[in-house]
Structure 1
Amino acid sequence: MVPTDFKALIQRFYQLQSERVETYQLFEEGHEAYLRTGPHYDFDHYKQLVHEITLAFNGISKEVLEIKEKLHHEFDRPALSEHMEKLQCKEKQKLELTAKLQLARQRAQDHPEDEDCQEQIQEIKHEIIKNKEALSEILQDFKYDSEECD
């Protein structure tokens, strides 16, 4: 449930961001476990993990969007709402990059002789680093703007 008072709303937003971080950790650990089942991968187990991770991310995003709407319409804080919009966009990109990285890692494991795979992994990792930097910057702006009127 989305809180109705401003400070509680901001706190809930930060909790949701922490949940995202934890969900990424679970996703990463699950993928590493999946790779250990190769070359005859336990795809059913991994597919179930992806389903659960997707549900978790969807739940988080839904609540973040509700908070974004409240900040914009009920608290008249369009700047905060805008930061959250940018954040959602970057989070979507991060998830897509994470999935790309996981596929590249599996390809590299299946074809150790293919040097392009390692190069692709490094490129994706670099994109993820840039994405995390952008996320961090957006969160800093959000923090600054949310504390402005305390």
Structure 2
Amino acid sequence: MVPTDFKGLIQRFYHLQSERVETYRLFEEGHEAYLRTGPHYDFDHYRQLVHEITQAFCGISKEVLEIKGKLHNEFDRPDLSEHIEKLQSKEKQKLELTAKLQLARQRAQDHPEDEDCQEKIQEIKQEIIKNKEALSEIMQDFKYDSEECD
């Protein structure tokens, strides 16, 4: 449930971002466990994990978007809702990059002789680093702007 007071809304937003970080950690751990089941991968178990992770991310995004709407409409803070809009876009990109990285890691494990696989993994990791830096910058802007009125 989305709080109705400004500070409560901001705190809930930060809590949801923490949940996102935790969900990524679980996703990564699950993928590592999946890779350990190779070469005859336990795909059914991994598919269930992906389903659960997807549901978690959808729930978080839905609530973040509700907060974005409240900040814009009820608190007249288009600046904060714009930060959330940018954040959501970067979070979507991060999830896509994470999935690409997982596929590249499996490919590298399945084809250890293919040096291009390791190169691809490094490229994706660099993109993820840039993405995380952009997310951090957006969060700093959000924090600064949301504390302005304290």
TM tier, smaller = over 0.9
1:85: how far off? 0.1
Instruction: Kindly report the root-mean-square deviation, in angstroms, between the aligned alpha carbons of the 2 structures.
Output: 0.2
1:24: how far off? 0.1
Q: Which runs of 5+ in 2 are unaligned?
A: none
Whole-Å separation in 1 of the counterparts to 2:55 and 2:110 = 29
Equivalent runs, 1:1-150 vs 2, <5 Å: 1-150=1-150
Q: Structure 1, residues 57-100: CA drift from partner, whole Å, max 9, x if none?
A: 00000000000000000000000000000000000000000000
Whole-Å separation in 1 of the counterparts to 2:102 and 2:72 = 36
1:127: how far off? 0.1
TM-score by length of 1: 1.00
Secondary structure of 1:7's counterpart equals helix
Whole-Å separation in 2 of the counterparts to 1:62 and 1:2 = 11
TM-score by length of 2: 1.00
1:113: how far off? 0.2
Q: Which runs of 5+ in 1 are unaligned?
A: none
1:140: how far off? 0.1
Number of residue pairs aligned between Structure 1 and Structure 2: 150
Q: Structure 1, residues 5-37: CA drift from partner, whole Å, max 9, x if none?
A: 000000000000000000000000000000000
1:138: how far off? 0.1
Whole-Å separation in 1 of the counterparts to 2:48 and 2:14 = 27
Whole-Å separation in 1 of the counterparts to 2:112 and 2:96 = 24
Off by >3 Å, runs of 4+ in structure 1: none
Aligned identity (percent) is 91
